Structure 1
Amino acid sequence: MARYAVIGLGIFGFHVAQSLYEKGHDVIAVDISEEMVQRARDTASQAVHADATDRETLEALGLQDVDCAIISVGERIDNSILITLHLAEMGVKKIVVKAANDTHGKILRKIGATEVVFPEKEMAIRTADRYSHRDVLDQIPLGDGVTILELIVPPFLVGKSILDAKLRKDYSLNVIGIKELQPDGGHAFVLARPDFILKRTDVLVLVGPDDRVEAFKGIPS
Structure 2
Amino acid sequence: MKSVLIIGTGRLGHHLCMNMAHMGNEIMIVDKNEENMQDLLSYAMMAKVGDCTKEEVLKSLGVGNFDICFVCIGSDFQNSLEITSLLKELGATYVVSKATRDIQAKFLLRNGADEVIYPERDAAERCAVKYGSNKVFDYIEMAEGYSILEIPPMHGWVGKSIGQLAVRSRYHVSILGIKVDGHLQFLPHPDRVLDKKDHLMIVGMKKDIDRILANIE
Q: C-alpha distance in 2, partners of 1:56/1:144?
A: 38
Change (3 A) 1:97 1:215: farther
Cα distance, 1:35 vs structure 2: 0.9
Cα deviation, 1:81-134, whole Å, max 9, x if unaligned, reads 111111122232321111021110111112221221111111111111112221
Number of the residue aligned with 2:39: 39
Cα distance, 1:7 vs structure 2: 0.9
| TM-score after normalising by structure 1 | 0.92
User: Structure 1 residue runs of 4+, over 4 Å off?
Assistant: none
Cα distance, 1:220 vs structure 2: 4.1
Matched, 1:61 2:85: no
Secondary structure at the aligned position of 1:178 is classed as strand
Q: C-alpha distance in 1, partners of 2:93/2:174?
A: 30
Partners of 2:100 and 2:121 within 8 A in 1: no
Number of the residue aligned with 1:49: 49
Partners of 1:135 and 1:154 within 8 A in 2: no
**Amino acid of the structure 1 residue aligned with 2:105:** G
| TM-score after normalising by structure 2 | 0.93
| Gaps in structure 2 of 5+ consecutive residues | none
Number of the residue aligned with 1:104: 104
Q: C-alpha distance in 2, partners of 1:118/1:14?
A: 16
Secondary structure at the aligned position of 2:142 is classed as strand
Alignment of 1:77-156 (within 5 A): 77-156=77-156
Partners of 1:8 and 1:30 within 8 A in 2: yes
Cα distance, 1:51 vs structure 2: 0.7
Partners of 1:64 and 1:90 within 8 A in 2: yes
Q: C-alpha distance in 2, partners of 1:210/1:110?
A: 28
Alignment of 1:166-177 (within 5 A): 166-177=166-177
Partners of 2:154 and 2:215 within 8 A in 1: no
Secondary structure at the aligned position of 2:147 is classed as strand
Secondary structure at the aligned position of 1:144 is classed as helix
Number of the residue aligned with 2:209: 213
Number of the residue aligned with 2:162: 162
Change (3 A) 1:32 1:214: farther
Matched, 1:73 2:60: no
Secondary structure at the aligned position of 1:36 is classed as helix
Secondary structure at the aligned position of 2:42 is classed as helix
Secondary structure at the aligned position of 1:136 is classed as coil
Q: Which stretch has the larger CA shift, 153-162 or 24-33?
A: 153-162
Q: C-alpha distance in 2, partners of 1:176/1:151?
A: 12
Count of matched residue pairs: 217
